[in-house]
Amino acid sequence: MEGHAEHIIQLMLQLAIIFIVAKSAAEIAVRYIKVPPVLGELFAGVIIGPFALGAIALGSFGPLFPGDHGHEIPPEINFLGQVASLVLMFVVGIETNLEQFLKYARKSFFIAIGGVAVPFTVGASLTVLFGFAESFMSIQALFIGSILTATSIGITARILKDLGKLDGAEGITILAAAVFDDVFGILVLAIVISLNETQTISSSNILIIAVQAVGIWLAITALSFLLSSPLSRFISGFNTEGALVAIPLGLALICAALAEHFGLAMIIGAYSFGLGMSNSKIKHEIEHQLHNIYNLLVPVFFVVMGMMVDLSAISTPVLVFGIVLSLTATLDKLIGSGIPAFFSGFNRIGSLRIGVGMIPRGEIALIIAGIGLSKGIIGTDLFGVSVIMTMSTTIIASIILPRLFKNNQDGIKK
């Protein structure tokens, strides 16, 4: 019982520090450094995390984030971070204009194809070039390639939301392309893992994975849209305070669980439900009631992401490869997504915004890297490279994207 009480006390202290530091770091980032709050939250996570100050003993309380290697972040904190990411994506989905999303879906599809093919090829090639894999078809090279494919919907969405650009042509195109991007990225990951386990790639397995991934995404979005009106009437009938936020959020979590069960990322399920509800009559009431929950929880997600960074795993060769991979990871999304955007009706500034918006790799890249580490596909060296690339691309996009939107210039070709 005493051990349980100590665990509760430690958990309370951890949550207190995360909440306070998240808001303090965001304030410093916005007021003094003039960068998006997400950047401050990510760096705050690195500083207070188990690989930095969090490992220092605090008198009789011991370290703030103790634990064995691989389990430094408490599961409760990790879970809260995951819930925060789902709240973020549900809010982003419900704030997206569904008609505009469908309008730009075809363009986004082709933008996503380029945004997956180019990074995958470049990432796998560089892994071989720097001696971390024997050939382009070796499992380590293919895995690093797959890590580079998925754009972080959460980070890009947060930047666009802070800029008030979620409903613009570029904002919607970026989000739609990022969703396609993650579907394609998860498909690539499934193929690489299958190759690692069986040493063969079955075309029938690829088809099953593809149909399942795309099918569950379309099903969640379509059902949410079709049921939005009856759901709105049902929820509006509640007199209990808070029902307008609790029930939709609960349904978003169910959709997230379904997406995860069928091999998609949870965040896509939450986003798809929000997108389906974006034309509902209670949309603005849900947004209003979610406002405080969003502001409390979402920064936690980015702090927890920062806490995953293990600086001790980054040696000189890893650092050099990580820097080169970060630079090419920036360029390959600019080229892979920016060029298709230009030929899809966007002008130079619009294409540049879309290319930069597709640069951040975040939660999905870290999840994929973690899977590779746990399965023994990659070692701590390539995991460290993945972390460097993830942080660098997030920083680059967080700094450049707001500046590209600063002049409010139209991004569509006349």
Please tell me the predicted confidence (pLDDT) of residue 15: 93
- Average the pLDDT over 253-271 and give the result: 86
Q: CB of 385 within 8 A of CB of 320?
A: no
What is the rounded distance in angstroms from the CA atom of residue 398 to the CA atom of residue 412? 22
CA distance 405 to 36: 13
Give the pLDDT of residue 275: 87
Q: Which residue has the higher pLDDT, 81 or 308?
A: 81
The whole-number pLDDT of residue 313 equals: 72
Q: What is the pLDDT of residue 310?
A: 76
- Chain-centroid distance, C-alpha 207: 25
Return the pLDDT at 185: 75
User: How does pLDDT run across 360-373, given as a tens digit for each residue?
Assistant: 987 667 767 777 77
Given a cut of 60, whether residue 1 has pLDDT beyond it is: no
pLDDT of residue 202: 63
pLDDT at 199: 62
Percent of the chain with pLDDT over 90: 30
- Residue 309 confidence (pLDDT): 75
Q: What is the pLDDT of residue 411?
A: 84
The pLDDT of residue 414 is above 60: yes
Measure the CA–CA gap between 46 and 211, rounded to whole angstroms. Answer: 38
pLDDT at 112: 92
Asked whether the beta carbons of 366 and 372 are under 8 A apart, the reply is no
Pairwise CA distance, residues 358 & 333, whole Å:
6
Lowest mean pLDDT across 197-206, 235-244, 254-263, 390-399: 197-206
Q: Cα(84)–Cα(42) distance, rounded to whole angstroms?
A: 14
What mean pLDDT is predicted for residues 168-182? 87
Confidence at residue 328, expressed as pLDDT on a 0 to 100 scale: 94
Residue 72's pLDDT band (cuts 50, 70, 90): low
Judge whether residue 86 has pLDDT over 70: yes
Question: SS3 for the chain, per residue?
Answer: CHHHHHHHHHHHHHHHHHHHHHHHHHHHHHHHHCCCHHHHHHHHHHHHCCCCHHHCECHHHCECCCCCCCCCCCHHHHHHHHHHHHHHHHHHHHHCCHHHHHHCHHHHHHHHHHHHHHHHHHHHHHHHHCCCCCCCCCHHHHHHHHHCCCCCHHHHHHHHHHHCCCCCHHHHHHHHHHHHHHHHHHHHHHHHHHHHHHCCCCHHHHHHHHHHHHHHHHHHHHHHHHHHHHHHHHHHCCCCCCHHHHHHHHHHHHHHHHHHHCCCCHHHHHHHHHHHCCCCCCHHHHHHHHHHHHHHHHHHHHHHHHHCCCHHHCCHHHHHHHHHHHHHHHHHHHHHHHHHHHCCCECHHHHHHHHHHCCCCCHHHHHHHHHHHHCCCCCHHHHHHHHHHHHHHHHHHHHHHHHHCCCCCCCECC
Q: Measured over all CA atoms, what is the biggest interatomic distance in the chain, rounded to whole angstroms?
A: 70
At 230, the pLDDT band (50, 70, 90 cuts) reads very high
- Residue 365 is predicted with a pLDDT of 77
Of 67 and 237, more confident:
237
Q: Say which residue the tokens 């703030």 belong to.
A: 64
Q: Is the predicted pLDDT of residue 9 greater than 60, yes or no? A: yes
What is the pLDDT at residue 22? 94
Q: Cα–chain-centroid distance for residue 365? A: 8
Query: What is the pLDDT, as a whole number, of residue 67?
Result: 57
Residue 218: CB atoms within 10 Å: 12
* Residue 87, pLDDT score: 92
144 in Cβ contact with 386 (< 8 Å): yes
Q: What is the mean pLDDT of residues 379-406?
A: 85
Sketch the domain layout of the chain as residue ranges. Answer: 2-61, 85-404
Most confident of 32-36, 192-196, 280-284, 410-414: 280-284
| pLDDT score recorded for residue 132 | 85
| Predicted pLDDT at 363 | 65
Q: What is the mean pLDDT of residues 231-239?
A: 91
Mean pLDDT of 257-284: 86
Query: Closest Cα partner for 184 from 267, 116, 88?
Result: 116
Asked whether 333 and 388 are in contact (CB, 8 A), the reply is no
Q: What is the pTM of this model?
A: 0.77
Give the pLDDT of residue 342: 94
Q: Which CATH number is 85-404's, of 1.20.1530.20, 1.10.3470.10, 1.10.3720.10, 3.40.50.620?
A: 1.20.1530.20
* CB-based contact 358:115 (threshold 8 Å): yes
* pLDDT score recorded for residue 201: 58
What confidence score (pLDDT) does residue 128 get? 92
First-to-last C-alpha distance (Å) of the chain: 70
pLDDT of 130 higher than 80? yes
How confident is the prediction for the chain on average, in pLDDT? 85
Span 14-25, average pLDDT: 94
* Residues recorded for the chain: 414
Q: What is the pLDDT of residues 204-228, one digit of tens each?
A: 766 777 777 778 888 888 999 999 9
Per-residue confidence at 194, pLDDT binned at 50, 70, 90? low
User: Would you give the distance in Å from CA 125 to the centre of its chain?
Assistant: 24
Residue range 26-71, pLDDT digits in tens:
999 889 987 778 888 888 988 998 888 888 877 777 788 875 555 5
Task: Give residue 271's pLDDT.
Answer: 86
